Amino acid sequence: LTQVRRKIVWVGAAPAVPPAADSWAERGAIVDAIARRDPSRARALMAAHAGPPPSQDGHYPRRGSVVRNPKQSVNTARVRNS
d(CA 66, CA 13): 24
Contact 30, 49 (CB under 8 A): yes
Per domain, the residue ranges of the chain are 21-53
d(CA 35, CA 41): 11
pLDDT for 36 equals 96
45 vs 8, more confident:
45
d(CA 11, CA 5): 10
Could you read off the pLDDT of 18-74 as tens digits, one per residue?
Answer: 677 878 888 999 999 999 999 999 999 998 888 766 555 555 555 655 656 666 666
